[in-house]
Structure 1
Amino acid sequence: MSLPLMSSASSNRSQADALAGGAAYAARRTGSGDAIGPTTLLCASGRGGSGTTLISALLAVAAAGEGHRVLLIDADDFVGPLAMTLGVTPRASWQDLRGGRVSPADVATPVSTTLTLVAGGAARLAGEGAPQLTSAERKACLRRLSALSEGMDLVVIDCGARLESVLAAITPHSGERLVAIASGADPVGLASTYALCKAVATRHGALPVELLVNRLEGSEAARCFDAIDAGARQFLGLSLRLAGAIPADPTLDAALRKGMTFADAAAGSPAAVAAHDVVTRALTVRPLSRSGV
Structure 2
Amino acid sequence: MSTDWPYSEEQRDFQRTLARVQPALPEVDESGAFPWAHWQAVGRTGALALTSPETGASALDLVAAGEALGHGGCPGPWWQSLLVIPVLEDAEAAMAGEVVVTAGTADRVPWAAVAERVFELGEAADRSWLLRPVRVAGVRESWISLGHEPVLAGDLVGDGPEIAVPARIELLTKLGLAAYLSGAGRRVLTDVVAYTAQRTQFRTRIGDFAAVAHPLAECDARVRAAAGLSRRAAAVLDEAGGGAGESRSVHTALRAAAAASREAVYQAHQAYGAIGFSQEGPLAWLGQRVAQLATDAEDLARDAVLVAD
Which of 1 and 2 has greater Rg? 2
Pick 1 or 2: higher relative contact order, CA cutoff 8 A, min separation 6: 1
TM-score, normalised to structure 2, is 0.28
TM-score, normalised to structure 1, is 0.29
